[in-house]
């Protein structure tokens, strides 16, 4: 069926650092899983084996972690927002009404708004231009105030950070100097997703993953992947591949320059990946523990979303970026060198994170669902 989506090595936006598998860090707090398990509506999201994709990518098994229905929301982000809001509330006097403020391309804002509602507080979400109206309506439906700005995600973060008042708490999923604690909790919250995958692969009798593919915006989710897989001495570490939109590949640019750099944000259907600056907190983890980074086009992610839909997985454009990135890396001209850098063998188990459902961020060209 497919057109060859792997690009010639020279044209593919690609970075590899094979030494990353030996990098090590400390694990996230185990309290996170216990907290999530007690939340209303929590259950592990599905991990779905798709043999057709294994054949397509030339590997042993492919599993897709489907985040399209995470605690009643259409993206993984609530794992981080819930733990961070819980930690923020626990350092405030009981009974004080708070305003939870954030900037978001959609999914994180909706998750913060949901948590504000759950815990009896208000939320204010700053949204950059270019976010799909469906995503904005979803935040409003959670009861939050939404301010749409004529600017980029980075602009929205600056406005949210400046809009603080005594009853306000900024719950932002990216870090900068002086703002690190809350984003650290958000990353800790994300690690539940990887703990679920460990259990699910073991239950399925599958091999440990040899490659885990992560859609990347500011890099907090990728940081969670690194902190999960690089903090278990003795366990064979998978290769970790970050996938960004070509329109905003700030992690790829930073890895290539070996320093944290910003890129101008572009226009992309992968709204949650449209971030121009990596999280300062994530950067040391990404530089040390990521094996490779690739960037994909909107056309590649849309094609991948249609492919996932054909297997009954309703991935939105950010979620489908994982499949698009795996295809770009593992197939096409120059793939031998990229596969070698990722230590891919014909029997390797690959896990693709499909981080959002199409309900969160509709896929262009799909029938209205």
Here the tokens at position 362 are 């509709």
- From the list 227, 202, 189, 272, the residue with the least C-alpha distance to 47 is 202
Cβ-closest position to ligand PLP: 272
Query: CB-wise, 313 or 335, nearer to ligand PLP?
Result: 313
Here the tokens at position 312 are 């009954």
Task: Among 77, 132, 327, 339, indicate the residue that binds ligand PLP (CB under 6 A).
Answer: 77
Phi first, then psi, for residue 240 (nearest 5°) are: -120, 120
Q: State the nearest-atom distance from the C-beta of 228 to ligand PLP, in Å.
A: 14
Indicate whether 272 belongs to the interface with ligand PLP (CB under 6 A): yes
Here the tokens at position 52 are 């057709």
Q: Going by C-beta distance under 8 Å and a sequence separation of 6 or more, which residues neighbour residue 49?
A: 61, 62, 63, 204, 206
Q: State the nearest-atom distance from the C-beta of 61 to ligand PLP, in Å.
A: 23
Q: Going by C-beta distance under 8 Å and a sequence separation of 6 or more, which residues neighbour residue 3?
A: none
Indicate whether 105 belongs to the interface with ligand PLP (CB under 6 A): yes
DSSP 261: -
Indicate whether 191 belongs to the interface with ligand PLP (CB under 6 A): no
Query: CB-wise, 99 or 273, nearer to ligand PLP?
Result: 273
Contacting range for ligand PLP; rule: CB under 6 A; set: 10-18, 24-32, 102-110, 339-347: 102-110
Q: How far apart are CA 212 and CA 189, in angstroms?
A: 18
Indicate whether 221 belongs to the interface with ligand PLP (CB under 6 A): yes
Task: Among 108, 121, 228, 327, indicate the residue that binds ligand PLP (CB under 6 A).
Answer: 108
Q: State the nearest-atom distance from the C-beta of 157 to ligand PLP, in Å.
A: 11
Asked whether the beta carbons of 228 and 25 are under 8 A apart, the reply is: no
Binding site for ligand PLP (CB under 6 A): 75, 77, 105, 107-108, 173, 215-222, 272-273, 275, 318-319, 355-356
């Amino acid at each position: 069926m497919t057109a060859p989506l792997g690009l010639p090595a020279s044209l593919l936006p690609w970075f590899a650092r094979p030494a990353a598998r030996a990098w090590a860090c400390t694990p996230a707090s185990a309290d996170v899983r216990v907290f999530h398990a007690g939340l209303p509506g929590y259950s592990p999201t599905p991990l779905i084996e798709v043999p057709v994709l294994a054949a397509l990518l030339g590997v042993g098994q492919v599993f897709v972690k489907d985040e399209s229905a995470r605690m009643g929301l259409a993206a993984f982000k609530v794992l981080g927002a819930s733990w961070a809001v819980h930690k923020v509330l626990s350092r405030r006097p009981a009974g004080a009404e708070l305003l939870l403020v954030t900037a978001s391309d959609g999914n994180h804002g909706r998750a913060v708004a949901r948590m504000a509602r759950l815990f009896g507080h208000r939320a204010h979400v700053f949204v950059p231009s270019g976010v799909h109206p469906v995503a904005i309506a979803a935040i409003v439906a959670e009861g939050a105030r939404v301010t749409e700005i004529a600017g980029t995600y980075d602009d929205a973060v600056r406005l949210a950070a400046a809009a603080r008042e005594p009853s306000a708490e900024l719950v932002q999923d990216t870090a900068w100097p002086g703002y690190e604690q809350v984003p650290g909790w958000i990353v800790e919250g994300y690690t539940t997703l990887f703990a679920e995958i460990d259990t699910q692969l073991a239950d399925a009798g599958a091999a440990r993953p040899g490659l885990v593919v992560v859609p990347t915006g500011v890099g907090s989710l990728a940081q969670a992947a690194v902190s999960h897989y690089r903090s278990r001495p003795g366990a064979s570490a998978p290769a970790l591949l970050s996938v960004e939109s070509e329109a905003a590949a700030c992690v790829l640019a930073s890895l290539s320059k070996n320093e944290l750099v910003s890129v101008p944000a572009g226009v992309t259907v992968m709204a949650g990946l449209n971030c121009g600056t990596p999280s300062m907190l994530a950067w040391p983890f990404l530089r040390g523990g990521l094996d490779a980074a690739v960037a994909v086009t909107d056309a590649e992610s849309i094609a991948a979303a249609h492919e996932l839909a054909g297997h009954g997985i309703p991935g939105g454009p950010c979620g489908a970026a994982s499949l698009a990135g795996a295809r770009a890396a593992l197939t096409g001209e120059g793939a031998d060198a990229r596969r070698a850098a990722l230590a891919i063998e014909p029997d390797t188990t690959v896990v693709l994170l499909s981080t959002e459902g199409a309900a969160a961020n509709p896929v262009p060209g799909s029938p209205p669902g």
